[in-house]
Chains A and B, each alone.
Chain A
C-alpha cells in the first residue's frame, strides 16, 4: 500500500470498544462485534495506508487512527429507477379528472 502525503484529506478508523468491553445490554449479534468509529481530516505527516496516522479534523481536533484512504468520497446516490414508484400518480390523476 502506498504512502499518502501530509496535508491530504483522509479517512481514519478506530476500534473504540472490543466486544468484551461493550455495554452489557446489547443483542447477541451486536455484542459479538467491535464498536468502531470513522472520521475524516487532513493528514499531519506522510503515512502509509493501514498505519497509525494523526489527522486534524474540521473542528480543529487532532486525533489518531488507522489510515483507511485518501480523498474519501461520498458514494451515496439514487440508483436505478424504481419501477414500483414510477407509475404512482397516473391513476390518481385520472380520478381527479373523473376518467
Chain B
C-alpha cells in the first residue's frame, strides 16, 4: 500500500477531501467557540420548500399517498379505554421510485452534484439511501458508487444489506462491499479522492432539505382529509435526518401543535463496530445504535457540520423491540393488506401504542413505509437470526434481549413503548460539547446556540454551565 493511502494519512486529509467533494465552506457559518449558524447554513446552501418539491417532482419523488389504517385503528379502539384510540394514518413512502423516503434526500443531493458539475456521486450507506442515490443517479445521468458495510470476518453478509446491494446494482451503481468497521468512512474518503465525485452524504443540508417535503406533504394531507393537525407524528429515528427534515417540513406548513415522536428499535448492548455482534442484529437501521450517538453528538457524522439536529425537534423519544416491529409488520400485512419492509414499520409499532393514549378524534401519523423483498422481510430476518443462534419465541416483549432473544408479542395488548428520558439525552449532548471546550470560554452566541440545540431556554443553559464550572473548577 502507498503510505499516503494508510489509515492515519487519509484521515488527516479528511477536511480537504470533504471540502472538495461537497464544495461547501462550513467555516463561513462558524460562530463563537463552538457554535455555528444552522439556519443560515440551511437557507444559504439549500432550497426553499417549493424548489425542493419541484426538483423531486422532476424525478417522480414524493406526493406519496396518506392511507388511513382503518382496521388497525378499529382494533386499537376495541382495546383502548372509552374515548381513546386515535385514527392511525400512514404515509406510504414505499411508493417512491426506489421504495423509501430516502429518494427525497437523494433527489436533492444528486441534483446538487449535477448542478455543481460533478460527473458522479458516492454514498457510504448500507441502507435504503444507497438504492435511492443509485436510482437518482440513473435518473439524472450521473455515475454512482455505493459503499456498504455488508459482511463479517467470515464473509457472511447481512441479508437486508445484501438485498440493498442487489438493488443498487440493478439500478446501475457500482457497489463496494466492506467488512465490519468504522473504516467505511476511510474507504469513502479514498474513493472520493480517487474519483473526484460528489459526496452524497446523508447529512448535508441538501439531504435534510429533501425530507422537509415529507413533513410538509403530510401536514397538508392531514389538514385536507381531517381538517386539523396530527396530535403526534411517529418518525423512525436513526441518524436524525428523518426527524429533523420532517419536523422542519411540518413547521414550514404551519403546524404548531403536532408532537414529534422519535422511535428507534432497541439494540442496547450490541456494539455497532463489533464483528461478532454485526450479524446478531435483525435490524440494520432505525435502531438505537445510530439514534443515541447521533442525537447526543450529531457532528460525529461524515460532514463537518451535520444538518440533521434531532434534539432540536424531538418532543418525545421512545424505543420498541425487534419482536414488536416484526409483529406490527405482520399486522399491517394481515389486517391492512399492505406488505411493507420491517425497518420502516418501527414507527408503526409505536403508533399502535400511542394511539391508545390519544383521544378518538385525534390523528397519529406513521410517517413512512419502505419496500420489502427477499432478505428485507420478517421471514428472512428471523430465519437469519435463528441461524445465528438468536432464539425466536412468542411471549412478553419485555423479555426481548437484543442479540440473543427476539420475543414476538402474542397479543396486541402486549405492545409497549419504552420512554427515553430526553432530559438525560440533553445532558449527554451538553457533556459531549464540554469535552471539547472549557465552559468558561463559551460566548453568548455559543450559549444561544446550545439553547437551540437542546430546545431549552437560555436560563437552562446558564444554570447547567454554572453547575459544571463549580464542579470542575472550584
Listed in ascending order, the chain A residues whose CB lies under 8 Å from chain B are 16-17, 21-23, 25-27, 29-30, 33-41, 57-61, 74-82, 84-85, 88-89, 91-93, 95-96, 98
Please report which residues of chain B, range 151-169, place their CB below 8 angstroms from some CB of chain A when the two chains form the complex. Answer: 151, 153, 157, 159, 162-163, 166, 169
Q: Which of A60, A76, A84, A93 contacts B382 (CB 8 A)?
A: A84
Cα of A27 to Cα of B392 in the assembled complex, Å: 27
Q: Is B256's beta carbon under 8 Å from chain A?
A: no
B393 at the A/B interface (Cβ < 8 Å)? yes
Q: Which residues of B contact A60 (CB under 8 A)?
A: 143
CB contacts under 8 Å to A, within B392-428, are 392-394, 408, 411-412
Q: For A84, give its contact among B144, B166, B186, B408 (CB under 8 Å).
A: B408
How far, in angstroms, from A95 to B306 measured CA to CA in the complex? Answer: 46
Which residues of B161-190 have CB atoms within 8 Å of chain A's CB atoms?
A: 162-163, 166, 169, 172-183, 186-187
- Bound: A40/B6 CA distance, A: 24
Ranked nearest first, the 7 interchain pairs of A and B with the lowest CB-CB distance are A89-B334, A79-B383, A76-B375, A59-B174, A33-B153, A88-B330, A57-B174
Residues of A within 8 A of B384 (CB): 79
A91 to B409, CA, bound (A): 12
B contacts, CB < 8 Å to A:
1, 6-7, 71, 74-75, 78-79, 120, 143-145, 150-151, 153, 157, 159, 162-163, 166, 169, 172-183, 186-187, 195, 271, 273-276, 326-327, 330-331, 333-335, 374-375, 377-380, 382-384, 392-394, 408, 411-412
A78 contacts across to B, CB distance below 8 A: 374, 377, 379-380, 383
**Residues B7 and A59 in contact, CB atoms below 8 Å apart:** no
CB–CB B275/A21 < 8 A: no
| Cβ contact within 8 Å between A88 and B374 | no
B182 near A26: Cβ-Cβ < 8 Å: yes
Q: Are B380's CB and A58's CB within 8 A?
A: no
State A35–B190 Cα separation when bound (angstroms): 14
Chain A residues positioned under 8 Å from B153 (CB to CB):
33-34, 36
A92 touches B163 (CB 8 A): no
Contact A85 B75 (CB under 8 A): no
Chain A residues contacting B179 (CB-CB under 8 Å) are: 33-37
Contact of A88 with B331 in the complex, beta carbons under 8 Å: yes
- The residue that B275 contacts in the complex, of A17, A29, A85, A92, with Cβ under 8 A, is A29
Q: Which residues of B contact A79 (CB under 8 A)?
A: 379-380, 383-384
Using A17-B186, A37-B178, A39-B174 as known contacts, list a sample of 5 further A-B pairs with CB atoms less than 8 Å apart, ordered by residue number in A.
A16-B178, A17-B183, A26-B182, A76-B166, A79-B384
| Structural contact, B74 and A96, CB atoms closer than 8 A | yes
B331 & A23 in contact (Cβ 8 Å cutoff): no
A74 touches B162 (CB 8 A): yes
Residue in A closest to B278 when the chains form the complex, CB atoms: A30
Interface pair B182/A59, CB less than 8 Å apart: no
- Determine which of B144, B274, B334 lies in contact with A27 in the assembled complex, contact meaning CB atoms within 8 Å: B274
**In the complex, what residues of A have CB within 8 A of residue B334's CB?**
88-89, 92-93
Question: How far, in whole Å, are A37 and B148 apart by their CA atoms in the complex?
Answer: 10
Contact check, A30 vs B273: say whether CB atoms are below 8 A apart: yes
Minimal beta-carbon separation of B385 from chain A (angstroms): 10
B51 to chain A, nearest CB (A): 29
Given contacts A29-B275, A30-B180, A35-B181, contact A21 B7 (CB under 8 A): yes
With A40-B169, A58-B173, A79-B379 known as contacts, the answer to whether A35 contacts B178 (CB < 8 A) is yes
| Residues in B whose Cβ lies below 8 Å from that of A57 | 145, 174
Chain A hits for B143, CB < 8 A: 59-60
Q: Which of A59, A76, A80 contacts B374 (CB 8 A)?
A: A76
| Contact (A58, B181) CB under 8 Å given A76-B157, A76-B380, A89-B331 | no
List the B side residues contacting A61 at CB < 8 Å.
145, 174, 195
A30 to B, closest residue via Cβ: B275
Contacting residue for A29 out of B1, B151, B274, CB 8 A: B274
**Cα distance A95–B85 when bound, in Å?**
15
Give the Cβ gap from A67 to chain B, nearest Cβ, in Å. Answer: 15
Q: Shortest beta-carbon distance, A33 to chain B, in Å?
A: 4
CA distance A22 to B180 in the complex (A): 12
